[in-house]
Structure 1
Amino acid sequence: MLNHIDIDQILFLDIETVPGCYNFSDLSDSLKDLWAKKTRFTQERDNQTPEEIYEKAGIYAEFGKIVCISTCFEYKKEGINKLRVKSFYGDDEKALLSEFGSMLIKHFNGDDKFLCGHNVKEFDAPYLARRMVLHGLELPKMLNTPGKKPWEVNHLDTMELWKFGDYKHFTSLNLLANIFGIPTPKDDISGADVARVYWEENDLKRIKIYCEKDTITVAHLMHKFKNLPLIPNENIEII
């Protein structure tokens, strides 16, 4: 599977997002109204008020922000395959996006490079691009996708790859890791906890560790898809 793509040409990533304001009451009156309009179908479906569903604000690029981007790539050193993991995280979203964008432009700008994540096509990549545009940052080639044909976009989505054309259901990264026997350390938080950990505990390092685990799992899943051996923990370098 995917034999035409070399594993060392792929940048794996995952992002963690939170609401731009922790509480619905902190929004301006105009944003409260726009949030209500943006989520009206969800309100009707779940029989909830705009305030009740505000906990989901972090998944919308217009109402959320990125607090962590974790990346990893495979390289060979002295004949040994290794994974190098690097995270961009902090309260200053523009700064972390600028640093991440510079890395993409410098190291992953060629036509032979690929960006890979779980649901990256519908969430991570669009979210990153939208937030970069909002901050007035240059879009790296890897994220500058408007006007491109689908086959011209070098994004690999492990969720989409697993579907093999079946679009009826969502398969979580945790489920795929489990059935493929990919060892994953137990997390002390889940995606649903990220906003609380950020806004109430201000524990960015805890979020970073959680994000890095998912990024490494995505890389291991791609190894399974390509029938390659996993990278042992001692060969995973976190910088």
Structure 2
Amino acid sequence: MLSKLHLENILFLDIETVPETPKFSDLDTTKQLLWETKSKYQRKDEFTAEAFYDRAGIWAEFGKIVCISVGYFKITNDVRTFRVTSFYGDEITILKDFKALLTTHFHQAKHLLCAHNGKEFDFPYIARRMIIHGIQLPHKLNLFGKKPWEVPHLDTLELWKFGDYKNYTSLKLLTHVLGIPSPKDDIDGSEVYRVFYEEQDIDRIIKYCEKDTVAVAQILLRLRGDTLLHDNEITHI
């Protein structure tokens, strides 16, 4: 049961991704053809592969991670704080720094990773980008040979489904119906490409990513029946 989980054993996270290059024309010819093939079932007839390229960031084969934000609880004498920090810069550095966090502080069997739609997006995306860059997977992302109940991942989308596999609920919708402050009060995921490549405003993306991470923690608190975090309990490191 969720109420039996120790909050301090959970690492909450969110990632922000963009296409690997600023423009479709920056890809080599082979990659352009591969993108055209990969995206043809998602594109409407009026969209060319080039026009659809701003959405390439959702595929690990054509995108890259520009920010990973993480958060974790510290509870001392019944006083809780939620600490949030982010990894950003070049992607290899982001991945290596995130791996270092997992291997030094969240490597024990009791530790869990938690994200919204993390099992479908965040966790496999991080793992695939690590493999692409030749980074050996940390234990928490290496799922080979693990039984479903051995996978150290929590997914707030999966928890909200309650076994209903037809239902998808966005983070924005779920925070709204649960009375949680929206993390989408500035930008949303569809705007990260523009903010990163055109505005070159990584600080704005970091702030957005950290808000999503806090929102994931808030959702888990609501699912447990706990009180939500107040602003004075959240510390940005």
Q: Same fold (TM over 0.5)?
A: yes
Please name the residue that 1:89 is paired with. 88
Query: Any unmatched runs of 5+ in structure 1?
Result: none
145-154 or 120-129: which moved more? 145-154
Shift in CA distance, 128/186, structure 1 to aligned 2, threshold 3 Å = closer
User: Deviation string for 1:139-183 (max 9, x for gaps)?
Assistant: 111111123221111111000110111111210111111111112
Which residues in structure 2 correspond to 1:1-239 (within 5 Å)? 1-43=1-43, 46-47=44-45, 48-90=47-89, 92-184=90-182, 187-239=185-237
Provide the rounded CA distance (Å) in 1 between the counterparts of 2:77 and 2:2.
26
Report the CA distance between 1:186 and its aligned residue. 5.7
SS in 2 for 1:217: helix
- Is the CA contact (8 Å cut-off) linking 2:183 and 2:208 kept in structure 1? no
Provide the rounded CA distance (Å) in 2 between the counterparts of 1:116 and 1:85.
14
Report the CA distance between 1:108 and its aligned residue. 0.8
What amino acid is aligned across from residue 208 of structure 1 in structure 2?
Answer: I
Provide the rounded CA distance (Å) in 2 between the counterparts of 1:76 and 1:154.
22
Provide the rounded CA distance (Å) in 1 between the counterparts of 2:140 and 2:152.
7
What amino acid is aligned across from residue 232 of structure 1 in structure 2?
Answer: H
User: Deviation string for 1:91-149 (max 9, x for gaps)?
Assistant: x1001110110001111111111100000001000000011111111211111112322
What amino acid is aligned across from residue 120 of structure 1 in structure 2?
Answer: G
Shift in CA distance, 185/38, structure 1 to aligned 2, threshold 3 Å = closer
Report the CA distance between 1:79 and its aligned residue. 3.3
Query: Any unmatched runs of 5+ in structure 2?
Result: none
User: Deviation string for 1:195-218 (max 9, x for gaps)?
Assistant: 111001111010000000000000
Sequence identity percentage: 51
Shift in CA distance, 110/70, structure 1 to aligned 2, threshold 3 Å = same
Provide the rounded CA distance (Å) in 1 between the counterparts of 2:181 and 2:33.
45
What amino acid is aligned across from residue 49 of structure 1 in structure 2?
Answer: T
SS in 1 for 2:159: helix
Shift in CA distance, 40/186, structure 1 to aligned 2, threshold 3 Å = closer
Report the CA distance between 1:78 and its aligned residue. 4.6
Shift in CA distance, 211/110, structure 1 to aligned 2, threshold 3 Å = same
What amino acid is aligned across from residue 204 of structure 1 in structure 2?
Answer: I
Report the CA distance between 1:65 and its aligned residue. 0.4
Moved over 4 A (4+): none
Question: What is the count of residue pairs matched by the alignment?
Answer: 236
SS in 1 for 2:25: helix
SS in 1 for 2:32: helix
What amino acid is aligned across from residue 3 of structure 1 in structure 2?
Answer: S
Provide the rounded CA distance (Å) in 2 between the counterparts of 1:147 and 1:54.
35
- Is the CA contact (8 Å cut-off) linking 2:183 and 2:215 kept in structure 1? no
- Over aligned residues, Cα RMSD in angstroms? 1.3
